[in-house]
Amino acid sequence: MLSTAEPIDAELPQEALVKKLCATLSGYLDAKQIDDCVRAYHFGASAHDGQVRKSGEDYICHPVAVAISLAEMRMDANGIMAAILHDVIEDTKVSKKQLAEEFNKEVAELVDGVTKLSKIDSKSRAEAQAENVRKMFLAMGKDLRVIMVKLADRLHNMQTLGVMPPEKKRRIARETLDIYAPIANRLGMNSIRHQLEVLSFEAIYPTRYRILNKAVKKARGNRRHIINTIESAINIRLQEAQLPCEVSGRQKNLWSIYEKMRQKKVSLAAIFDVHAFRIFCDDVDSCYRVLGVIHNLYKPIPGRFKDYIALPKANGYQSLHTILIGPHGLPIEIQIRTHDMHRMAESGIAAHWLYKSEDDKSEKFRARANEWLRDLLEIQKTAGDSLEFIDNLKIDLFPQEVFLFTPKGGIIKLPRGATVVDFAYAVHTDIGNACVSARIDKQLVPLQTKLENGMTVEVITAVWARPNPLWLNYVITVKARSSIRNYLKHFKQQEAINLGRRLLEKELQSMDVYLEQVEQSRLIELLKISNMHSIDELLENIGLGNKMPFLVAKQLTQFDVNANVKLNNAEQTTKTPLVIKGTEGMVITLAKCCRPIPGDSIIGFFNPGKGIVVHHHECRNRTVTSKKHSSWLDVEWSQDVVGDFPVDLRIEILNQRGALATVAAAISENDSNIENVTVVYQDDRVCVDMITLTAKDRVHLANIIRRLKEVPVVLKLTRIKA
């Protein structure tokens, strides 16, 4: 595992560092492999010749120090060479092809995976950082050693951060806390994570770090007596039970102490009231026997026991956690695990190399890491851009977990606060896309229900169901969020293509032409002029309102598609109106200003990028929008339109007790539902309300208004059309 000793002395000459590296490598590599690593050092030293770090040391000292860290994790020869050469592509004239020829393709791929993108057309530093992290994860998907090299590189950079300007120091430390420490945590590499967190804490808040560090050292000295008393009592009881175990006090790192103080808003004394111990056993059976002994020694606090052996964390961490009431009423935190579990907890995926000669238990942890990476790679394919991917990554990096059960007894792990929709997508993307409700412990619940430990969840699906944009307000898992966004993006695209086809065909038919009759060569020429790649792209732009269907139809029916078409108002108004049902979705929407319903005279306006917005013919906004003559078209309702459509009514009623209830009852009698009520004006005699209710069509609304006018408390009633 990675040494937690003091950072390598920056003043050591590079020859001394190379000797230290060779001494470490000799413990597990053969002579030829060590020679290859030394050859990589000479190649790197030559490439970096003349380059120095801000500390004044030769640049090659940094990659050799990174290689030493990896050698302590028993990284293979190609990984060590990649560490030594990890900056040559980025900072020198050496190319990936040269590395492959000089060493091998594997080393070249590893170095390229760690290398930042040299030329990024980014608008901000945040975008550049996001793009680099995204590239790194793509490389990690092929080889986990990429992240091993990157974490060791970041660790040494943090250890030598002292010479940087304060502003840059804080920025690098914040990036480390946001991205690299959580990645180390997610991969189970707690040793590296703790070092990164403490070093980042010192860089971001130097004064707080100094004061807290001094206070912690003092507190640890003051409580030494009581720690020895508890440790002695535990050892005596374990000996009596004939359980040979190792007991040691556990020290919280400064960053975790600071975070607990900040989140819980408590003092250092409150944090240090909890005395923490670890007990190391030889096998799993002994762990549970020790737990029984400890619970007989001190009383456990109900609800504070966690079994991470039976249900390991997502990063492979295994241990038994319990909190007890010790002498003088002080809480005691105990972690019980085997020696193998402790090595895995400290090294994570690094255990694959460090302990491979002893057993292959680390394979399952490596498999978990690969599974997580596969999920992230699937998510990055659907992410709109690198900033969206980085947001998804931050959500996913080691949240607190709840364990849930499927009806067949399968276990699903989700972050705390996850909902039924998160669960559905965790089971399968198709289940998530089609979910309508669920049963928790056989009780029907809505989709936004938050899940808790131990629940049995059964997802109910329907063939007609599809993802709802509102789900994005309460889902918290990356898979659910990216799957919903991806579906809606493609759904909108397909919907726009279908609408664009209908609009173009309608315009062509008014010219006695059918789309199928248009020559292929003319379509290709139009696509070329429009700088588009396919007919679907053209139809999508028409459906989204970015291109006018009449102009496209004119271009297709003219001999010269380059002709500059000039049209008067009469030409632009199509004789055959577009038939709509009002429920098309994303690319046909009903305007909220006038809320048209079936039976109303309507008109449609193209809203670039969004499609068609349908207004009432008497809407006051129409006079403003219709000035843009090229952006409106005639539309009419379909004969078989069905559904409930919102309508705004302005209603004046007597200000007396129960008046609004009487109005609501009259609306309900006419098979309508109130969606919203807003009080516009109120005095001692009159109350003016704005009511949004549902109506099936114009006739249904007329019946509702007629009934409301019969209500004695109603003084005046008006439908709002703008």
Q: What is the CATH number of the domain that holds 339?
A: 3.30.460.10
Q: Tell me, yes or no, whether 62 and 194 share the same domain.
A: yes
Instruction: Single out the residue in 292, 319, 354 at which a domain terminates.
Output: 354
Q: Tell me, yes or no, whether 480 and 379 share the same domain.
A: yes
Of 140-149, 345-354, 580-589, the one with minimum mean pLDDT is 345-354
How far is residue 440 CA from its own chain's centroid?
A: 26
Structure tokens at 452: 């808790």
Q: Tell me, yes or no, whether 441 and 343 share the same domain.
A: no
Of 562-571, 617-626, 649-658, the one with minimum mean pLDDT is 562-571
Q: What's the Cα-to-Cα distance from 350 to each of 3, 282, 363, 620, rounded to whole Å?
A: 13, 22, 11, 68
Q: Is 536 a domain residue?
A: yes
Structure tokens at 279: 């007990």
Q: With H, G, I as helix, E, B as strand and everything else as coil, classify residue 695.
A: strand
Indicate which residue of 58, 72, 76, 90 is catalytic: 90
Q: Tell me, yes or no, whether 478 and 556 share the same domain.
A: no
Q: Tell me, yes or no, whether 177 and 322 share the same domain.
A: no
Q: Is 362 a domain residue?
A: no
Q: Tell me, yes or no, whether 435 and 526 share the same domain.
A: no
Confidence (pLDDT) at 692: 92
* 637 residue type, one letter: W
Q: Is 306 a domain residue?
A: yes
Burial 325-349, CB ≥16 within 10 A → b, else e: ebeeeeebbbbbbbebbbbbbbbbb
Q: Tell me, yes or no, whether 428 and 397 share the same domain.
A: yes
Is the pLDDT at 132 greater than 70? The verdict is no
- Report the distance separating Cα 494 and Cα 475, nearest Å: 25
Consecutive H or E run containing 317: none
Any residues with CB less than 8 A from the CB of 378 and at least 6 apart, and which?
A: none
Q: What's the Cα-to-Cα distance from 701 to each of 22, 290, 426, 715, rounded to whole Å?
A: 86, 74, 44, 18
CATH number, position 442: 3.10.20.30
Any residues with CB less than 8 A from the CB of 115 and at least 6 apart, and which?
A: 86, 87, 89, 90
List, for residues 399-418, the tens digit of each pLDDT value: 566 778 888 877 787 887 88
**What is the largest distance, in Å, between two alpha-carbon atoms of the chain?**
101
Q: Tell me, yes or no, whether 36 and 111 share the same domain.
A: yes
- Determine the average pLDDT of the residues in 87-95: 85
Q: Tell me, yes or no, whether 268 and 403 share the same domain.
A: no
* 646 residue type, one letter: P
Indicate which residue of 72, 91, 178, 634 is catalytic: 91
Q: Is 210 a domain residue?
A: no
Confidence (pLDDT) at 379: 54
- Report the distance separating Cα 378 and Cα 479, nearest Å: 9
Would you say 476 and 418 are in contact if contact means Cβ atoms under 8 Å apart?
Answer: yes
Would you say 341 and 312 are in contact if contact means Cβ atoms under 8 Å apart?
Answer: no
Is the pLDDT at 572 greater than 50? The verdict is no
- Report the distance separating Cα 413 and Cα 553, nearest Å: 54
Place of tokens 């952006």: 631
What value, to the nearest 5°, has the Cα angle with vertex 361 and ends 360 and 366?
90
Would you say 186 and 314 are in contact if contact means Cβ atoms under 8 Å apart?
Answer: yes
- Give yes or no: 91 in active site: yes
Within 13 Å, how many C-alpha atoms sit on residue 510's CB side? 18
**What is the average pLDDT score of the chain?**
79
Q: What is the DSSP string of 245-313?
A: -EEEE-PPPHHHHHHHHHHHT--HHHHTTSEEEEEEESSHHHHHHHHHHHHHHSEEPTT--EETTTS--
Consecutive H or E run containing 119: none
Query: Residue 38: which of 46, 106, 53 has the closest Cα?
Result: 46
Q: Is 562 a domain residue?
A: yes
4 pLDDT band, cuts 50/70/90, is very low
Q: Tell me, yes or no, whether 649 and 683 share the same domain.
A: yes
The total of structural domains in the chain comes to 5
DSSP 476: -
0.75 exceeded by pTM = no
Any residues with CB less than 8 A from the CB of 238 and at least 6 apart, and which?
A: 244, 245, 247, 279, 290, 293
CATH number, position 106: 1.10.3210.10
Would you say 497 and 539 are in contact if contact means Cβ atoms under 8 Å apart?
Answer: yes
Query: Residue 696: which of 528, 583, 592, 602 has the closest Cα?
Result: 583
- Report the distance separating Cα 341 and Cα 347, nearest Å: 10
Structure tokens at 181: 């420490």
**398 φ/ψ angles, rounded to the nearest 5 degrees:** 55, 65
Q: Where are the beta strands (DSSP E) in 441-499?
A: 443-445, 457-461
Any residues with CB less than 8 A from the CB of 258 and at least 6 apart, and which?
A: 201, 205, 208, 212
Confidence (pLDDT) at 373: 57
Q: With H, G, I as helix, E, B as strand and everything else as coil, classify residue 606.
A: strand
Rg of the chain over all Cα atoms, to the nearest angstrom: 34
Q: Decide the pairing of beta strands 578-580 and 632-637.
A: parallel
- Determine the average pLDDT of the residues in 122-141: 57
Residues paired with 450 in a beta bridge = 419
Number of other CB atoms surrounding residue 221 within 10 Å: 9
* 481 residue type, one letter: R
- Give yes or no: 560 in active site: no
Is the pLDDT at 91 greater than 50? The verdict is yes
- Report the distance separating Cα 428 and Cα 436, nearest Å: 14
List, for residues 416-453, the tens digit of each pLDDT value: 788 999 999 989 888 998 898 899 988 888 888 898 87
Structure tokens at 524: 């290709």
Handedness of CA 499, 548, 554, 512 (dihedral sign): positive
Query: Residue 155: which of 183, 181, 188, 186 has the closest Cα?
Result: 181
Instruction: Single out the residue in 354, 381, 408 at which a domain terminates.
Output: 354
How far is residue 267 CA from its own chain's centroid?
A: 33
518 class by beta-carbon count within 10 Å (0-12 exposed, 13-18 middle, 19+ buried) = middle
Instruction: Single out the residue in 172, 204, 236 at which a domain terminates.
Output: 204
List, for residues 289-307, the tens digit of each pLDDT value: 999 999 999 999 888 888 8
Q: Tell me, yes or no, whether 307 and 389 share the same domain.
A: no
Q: Is 1 a domain residue?
A: no
Q: Is 292 a domain residue?
A: yes
Is the pLDDT at 324 greater than 80? The verdict is yes
- Determine the average pLDDT of the residues in 194-201: 90
List, for residues 595-648, the tens digit of each pLDDT value: 899 888 888 887 776 677 888 888 877 666 555 545 677 788 888 787 888 999
Query: Residue 588: which of 573, 576, 603 has the closest Cα?
Result: 603
Q: Tell me, yes or no, whether 408 and 555 share the same domain.
A: no
> In the chain, count of helices (H) and strands (E)?
31, 20
Consecutive H or E run containing 168: helix 166-175
Of 321-325, 332-336, 394-398, the one with minimum mean pLDDT is 394-398
* 626 residue type, one letter: S
CATH number, position 704: 3.30.70.260
User: What residues make up the domain containing 509?
Assistant: 486-637
Any residues with CB less than 8 A from the CB of 47 and at least 6 apart, and which?
A: 85, 88, 92, 93, 94
Q: Is 214 a domain residue?
A: no
Is the pLDDT at 559 greater than 50? The verdict is no
- Determine the average pLDDT of the residues in 136-158: 76
Percent of the chain at pLDDT exceeding 90? 13
More confident: 200 or 629: 200
- Report the distance separating Cα 9 and Cα 155, nearest Å: 14
* 254 residue type, one letter: L
